[in-house]
Structure 1
Amino acid sequence: MVYQEEITVTTHGEGEIVDLTLAVRRCVAASGTVTGACTLFLIGSTAALTTIEYEDGVLRDLADALERVAPSGIAYAHDARWGDGNGRSHVRASLVGPSLVVPVQDGALRLGTWQQIVLLELDVREHRERTVLCTVIP
Structure 2
Amino acid sequence: MKIITKELIYKTKGDSEIIDLTLDLNKLLSESKLSDGNCTVFSVGSTGGITTLEYEPGLIKDIPEFLDKIIPKYDKYFHNETWGDGNGHSHIRSALFKTSLTIPFSKKLFFLGTWQQVVFIDFDNRPRTRRIIAQFIGD
TM-score grouping bracket, smaller chain normalisation: over 0.9
Provide the residue aligned with 1:21 in structure 2: 22
CA contact (8 A) 2:37 2:106 kept: yes
Provide the residue aligned with 1:105 in structure 2: 106
CA distance in 2, matches of 1:46, 1:72: 13
Determine what percentage of the aligned residue pairs are the same residue: 39
Give the alignment's TM-score, normalised by structure 2: 0.94
Provide the residue aligned with 2:49 in structure 1: 48
CA contact (8 A) 1:33 1:104 kept: no
- Structure 1 residue 113 displacement after superposition: 0.3
Q: Deviation string for 1:90-119 (max 9, x for gaps)?
A: 000110010000111111111100111111
CA contact (8 A) 1:53 1:115 kept: yes
Provide the residue aligned with 1:74 in structure 2: 75
Segments of 5+ residues of structure 2 without an aligned counterpart are none
Provide the residue aligned with 2:134 in structure 1: 134
- Structure 1 residue 64 displacement after superposition: 2.0
Give the alignment's TM-score, normalised by structure 1: 0.95
Q: Deviation string for 1:11-69 (max 9, x for gaps)?
A: 02212111111111111111111111111111000111111100111222211221122
Q: Could you list the runs of 4 or more consecutive aligned residues of structure 1 that deviate by over 3 angstroms after TM superposition? A: none
Provide the residue aligned with 1:9 in structure 2: 10
Provide the residue aligned with 2:38 in structure 1: 37
Secondary structure at the residue paired with 2:115?
coil
Secondary structure at the residue paired with 1:34?
coil
